Amino acid sequence: MVVPLTMVAVADVHSPQYVPLLVTSINKIKSRNLKPDLIILAGDIVEKNSVPHVRVVLEIVNKLSNKHGTTPPIIGVFGNEEYMGYEHEYISKYPQIIWINDEYKVLETENIEVCVVGSRGALLKPTTWQQKHIPHVDALYKTRVEKIKELLRQCKKYRASILVTHYALTFATVEGENLNIYKFLGYPLIETLEDDEKPLLAVHGHAHKAVKTYANVKGVPVYNISLPAVKNVTVLDLSL
């Protein structure tokens, strides 16, 4: 039996900066009477590690309900604006978000197990700031890429796997950004995946100025769900 799965996904709210746009976008979803099964927050939820501003975003997305009349599960990954070393603050203060940080979580919807791999992701080249302030950052990104691949392989035993990162997963969905900064926006991870690692769907943020926000890369649908780029939340429909 084919089971539909509807997701509402967004990155780069940078609360409070893009909160008005988020409000408008969520109101559009409600006006369509859309009932998402899952909500995804793909990093840079807040601006400059402003932990209290997650609450504003939660209050907005909590207005959505699934077909059972309850709030759908909310998946969250950290971005560069949720500073490394502060993850415990977000996790402890906002337990209603299912935080996924270089790991996977299995969610059950309509009796279907969906495996979600979540991570900040990696950059092809660390920024100058990162090189100065994050010890061994090159090794960190290399290790993280391999970890994501390992998690994706483990997820293959479930009906569906979804990959969520903040940094871009391919350069195909950052088109519109300055070509010279592609290497600072993400890592072409999807292009390196073997068949036993490919997720059913992949989403990322971080590329605010992208004009091409969808690409099918080696058979994997990849969406850039950055709010400033899309000017809306992204609605994703899967058939499982």
- Could you tell me the residue ranges of all domains in the chain? 4-239
- Quickly state the pLDDT bin for 2 (edges 50, 70, 90): confident
Average confidence score pLDDT of the chain: 97
Return d(Cα 8, Cα 29) in angstroms, integer.
9
Does 181 score more than 90 pLDDT? yes
Residue 191: other Cβ atoms inside 10 A: 13
Is residue 198 predicted with pLDDT exceeding 80? yes
Which DSSP string do the residues of 9-50 spell out, in sequence order?
EEB--TBTTTHHHHHHHHHHHHHTT---SEEEEES--BSTT-
Looking at the DSSP assignment, which residues form a beta bridge with residue 133?
none
Mean pLDDT of 169-185: 98
pLDDT digits (tens, 9 = 90+) for 80-110: 999 999 999 999 999 999 999 999 999 998 7
pLDDT bucket at 233, cuts 50 / 70 / 90:
very high
The burial class, CB within 10 Å (0-12 / 13-18 / 19+), for 38 is buried
CA distance 75 to 164: 9
Q: Which of 236, 208, 239, 233 is nearest to 222 (CA)?
A: 236
pLDDT at residue number 3: 80
Q: 1-5, 12-16, 205-209 — which is least confidently predicted?
A: 1-5
What does the pLDDT average to over 216-230?
98
Average pLDDT over residues 199-213: 98
How far is the C-alpha of 76 from the C-alpha of 47, rounded, in Å? Answer: 15
Fold type of domain 4-239: Purple Acid Phosphatase; chain A, domain 2 (3.60.21)
Task: Quote the pLDDT of residue 190.
Answer: 99
pLDDT of residue 160: 93
- Separation in Å, CA 130 to CA 90, 181, 224: 22, 14, 23
**Structure confidence at residue 239 (pLDDT):** 85
Is residue 79 pLDDT above 90, yes or no? yes
Strands 201-204 and 160-165: parallel
The model's confidence at residue 111, banded by pLDDT at 50, 70 and 90, is confident
Confidence grade of residue 223 (pLDDT, cut at 50, 70, 90): very high
| pLDDT of the residue at 4 | 86
pLDDT score at 211: 98
The predicted model gives 168-188 an average pLDDT of 98
| Helix, strand, coil share (%) of the chain residues, nearest 5 | 30, 30, 40
Answering whether pTM is above 0.95, one says: yes
pLDDT at 155: 97
> For 131-157, what is each residue's pLDDT tens digit?
999 999 999 999 999 999 999 999 999
